[in-house]
Amino acid sequence: MNLALWIVAGLLAVAYLGAGLLKATQPKERLQKNLPWVEDFSAGTVRFIGVVEILGAVGLILPQATGIAPILTPIAATGLVVVQALAIRTHVRRHEPQVLPANIALLLLAAFVAVGRFAGY
Protein backbone atom coordinates (compact mmCIF):
# COMPACT_ATOMS: atom_id res chain seq x y z
CA MET A 1 0.00 0.00 0.00
CA ASN A 2 2.83 2.40 0.87
CA LEU A 3 4.40 1.86 -2.57
CA ALA A 4 1.09 2.59 -4.30
CA LEU A 5 0.70 5.77 -2.25
CA TRP A 6 4.19 6.91 -3.24
CA ILE A 7 3.60 6.18 -6.92
CA VAL A 8 0.26 8.00 -7.01
CA ALA A 9 1.62 10.92 -4.97
CA GLY A 10 4.63 11.18 -7.31
CA LEU A 11 2.48 11.19 -10.43
CA LEU A 12 0.12 13.76 -8.93
CA ALA A 13 3.06 15.92 -7.84
CA VAL A 14 4.48 15.96 -11.37
CA ALA A 15 1.09 16.82 -12.86
CA TYR A 16 0.28 19.57 -10.36
CA LEU A 17 3.78 21.03 -10.42
CA GLY A 18 3.65 21.34 -14.20
CA ALA A 19 0.14 22.75 -14.26
CA GLY A 20 0.84 25.07 -11.36
CA LEU A 21 4.04 26.46 -12.85
CA LEU A 22 2.22 27.14 -16.10
CA LYS A 23 -0.60 29.02 -14.36
CA ALA A 24 1.72 30.89 -12.01
CA THR A 25 4.17 32.07 -14.66
CA GLN A 26 2.30 32.54 -17.94
CA PRO A 27 0.17 35.56 -18.82
CA LYS A 28 -3.55 34.92 -18.73
CA GLU A 29 -3.85 35.71 -22.44
CA ARG A 30 -1.42 32.93 -23.34
CA LEU A 31 -3.21 30.44 -21.08
CA GLN A 32 -6.60 31.15 -22.68
CA LYS A 33 -5.59 29.27 -25.84
CA ASN A 34 -5.45 25.92 -24.03
CA LEU A 35 -7.37 26.71 -20.84
CA PRO A 36 -10.49 28.62 -21.89
CA TRP A 37 -11.84 28.64 -18.32
CA VAL A 38 -9.29 31.32 -17.34
CA GLU A 39 -11.45 33.94 -19.06
CA ASP A 40 -13.86 33.60 -16.11
CA PHE A 41 -11.19 34.56 -13.56
CA SER A 42 -8.84 37.45 -12.93
CA ALA A 43 -5.14 37.06 -13.69
CA GLY A 44 -4.48 37.14 -9.95
CA THR A 45 -6.90 34.30 -9.30
CA VAL A 46 -5.33 32.17 -12.04
CA ARG A 47 -1.87 32.79 -10.53
CA PHE A 48 -3.24 31.94 -7.08
CA ILE A 49 -4.58 28.64 -8.40
CA GLY A 50 -1.15 27.94 -9.87
CA VAL A 51 0.61 28.67 -6.58
CA VAL A 52 -1.87 26.44 -4.71
CA GLU A 53 -1.14 23.62 -7.15
CA ILE A 54 2.62 24.08 -6.72
CA LEU A 55 2.30 24.02 -2.93
CA GLY A 56 0.06 20.97 -3.15
CA ALA A 57 2.62 19.17 -5.32
CA VAL A 58 5.42 19.93 -2.86
CA GLY A 59 3.17 18.96 0.05
CA LEU A 60 2.43 15.56 -1.48
CA ILE A 61 6.10 14.58 -1.40
CA LEU A 62 8.35 16.66 0.83
CA PRO A 63 6.81 16.18 4.30
CA GLN A 64 6.43 12.43 3.88
CA ALA A 65 9.88 12.01 2.31
CA THR A 66 11.72 14.03 4.97
CA GLY A 67 9.69 12.90 7.96
CA ILE A 68 9.28 16.57 8.90
CA ALA A 69 5.62 17.21 9.69
CA PRO A 70 4.39 14.25 7.59
CA ILE A 71 0.80 15.11 8.55
CA LEU A 72 1.08 17.83 5.91
CA THR A 73 1.06 15.23 3.12
CA PRO A 74 -2.56 14.09 3.58
CA ILE A 75 -3.55 17.70 4.24
CA ALA A 76 -1.99 18.71 0.90
CA ALA A 77 -3.79 15.84 -0.83
CA THR A 78 -7.07 16.99 0.73
CA GLY A 79 -6.41 20.50 -0.53
CA LEU A 80 -5.93 19.12 -4.04
CA VAL A 81 -9.25 17.27 -3.73
CA VAL A 82 -10.85 20.66 -3.02
CA VAL A 83 -9.04 22.21 -6.01
CA GLN A 84 -10.43 19.48 -8.27
CA ALA A 85 -13.94 19.75 -6.83
CA LEU A 86 -13.90 23.45 -7.65
CA ALA A 87 -12.47 22.74 -11.11
CA ILE A 88 -15.29 20.26 -11.75
CA ARG A 89 -17.82 22.86 -10.67
CA THR A 90 -16.29 25.41 -13.04
CA HIS A 91 -16.26 23.02 -16.00
CA VAL A 92 -19.85 21.91 -15.37
CA ARG A 93 -20.94 25.56 -15.21
CA ARG A 94 -19.08 26.28 -18.46
CA HIS A 95 -20.56 23.19 -20.18
CA GLU A 96 -17.12 21.60 -20.75
CA PRO A 97 -17.80 17.89 -20.18
CA GLN A 98 -14.75 16.79 -22.18
CA VAL A 99 -12.39 17.74 -19.31
CA LEU A 100 -14.46 16.22 -16.50
CA PRO A 101 -12.95 12.69 -16.71
CA ALA A 102 -9.46 14.09 -16.08
CA ASN A 103 -10.71 16.24 -13.20
CA ILE A 104 -12.55 13.31 -11.65
CA ALA A 105 -9.49 11.05 -12.01
CA LEU A 106 -7.25 13.65 -10.34
CA LEU A 107 -9.79 14.11 -7.55
CA LEU A 108 -10.00 10.36 -6.91
CA LEU A 109 -6.21 9.93 -6.96
CA ALA A 110 -5.73 12.81 -4.53
CA ALA A 111 -8.45 11.33 -2.30
CA PHE A 112 -6.63 7.98 -2.39
CA VAL A 113 -3.44 9.66 -1.15
CA ALA A 114 -5.31 11.65 1.49
CA VAL A 115 -7.16 8.63 2.89
CA GLY A 116 -4.11 6.38 2.67
CA ARG A 117 -1.82 8.81 4.44
CA PHE A 118 -4.40 9.81 7.07
CA ALA A 119 -4.86 6.09 7.81
CA GLY A 120 -1.21 6.03 8.93
CA TYR A 121 -2.06 8.31 11.86
pLDDT tens over the chain, length 121 residues: 899 999 999 999 999 999 999 999 999 999 999 999 999 999 999 999 999 999 999 999 999 999 999 999 999 999 999 999 999 999 999 999 999 999 999 999 999 999 999 997 6
Contact 74, 117 (CB under 8 A): yes
pTM of the predicted structure, to 2 decimals: 0.94
Q: For the chain, what is the domain count?
A: 1
Domain that holds residue 45: 2-118
Range list of H helices, the chain: 2-25, 28-31, 43-66, 72-93, 100-118
